Amino acid sequence: MRKTHYLIVGILSLISISTHAIDSQKIAAKHPIIADKPVPGFFEGALLGNGALGVVVTTRPDAICLHFGHNNVWDIRIAENNKEKIGTFDEIFTKAQTTLTGLPFIYHSNEFSEYLKLTAENYQKPYPRPFPCGTLLLGDATFTSLCAKYSFQKEELSIVNFQLV
């Protein structure tokens, strides 16, 4: 009965959403993204793109940097700090069959809980992360696009702020 209730509520929600047009640009316009200082870092830059091909706009004292990227280009380095302690699948399955008898889940075993922490440690690094494919440096400080407006200090040729519109 309960699953049926959730299914009916879900279907009604989808029907009500589909009958009301959602204007994403109108919603986004209510929440402008404003930076009131130069943004030299890749992860702080202004984002432009269509979901597949993207550009991150950052600044340097002498130029504007356009970092081009694609959604399937990632820095996928993996730390292998515990490589000698992490076994093969066959070793793990054999150990599980002998040590996990009588336990409801693998997480109830102290040995396997420690092993899971050990394997997860390699993924606590700042990667995998998006990785730019290339960077275009623009030395002329006259740049306006349809998506963003940039303000410049002419004497220093640097962006002092930006606002996505």
Q: Which residue has the higher pLDDT, 104 or 6?
A: 104
On whether both 116 and 132 belong to a single domain, the answer is no
User: Are 37 and 103 found together in one domain?
Assistant: no
Percent residues over pLDDT 90 in the chain: 0
Domain for residue 141, yes or no? yes
Domain total in the chain: 2
Across the chain, mean pLDDT equals 71
Q: 124, 110, 132: which is closest to 42 by C-alpha?
A: 132
pLDDT higher than threshold 70 for residue 156: no
Classify residue 5: in a domain, yes or no: no
Q: How far apart are the first and last CA of the chain?
A: 48
Burial class, 48, CB count within 10 angstroms (exposed 0-12 / middle 13-18 / buried 19+):
middle
Q: Is residue 1 part of a domain?
A: no
Q: Which residues of 112-147 are buried (b: 16+ CB within 10 A; e: fewer)?
A: beebeeeeeeeeeeeeeebebeeeeeeeebeeeeee
Quick one: 70 and 33 in the same domain?
Answer: yes
In a shared domain, residues 70 and 137: yes
**Do 67 and 131 fall within a single domain?**
yes
Does some domain include residue 159? yes
Residue 54 domain boundaries = 29-76+127-164
**Residue 105, helix vs strand vs coil:** coil
Asked if 34 and 94 sit in the same domain, the reply is no
Q: Which of 66, 56, 80 is nearest to 130 (CA)?
A: 56
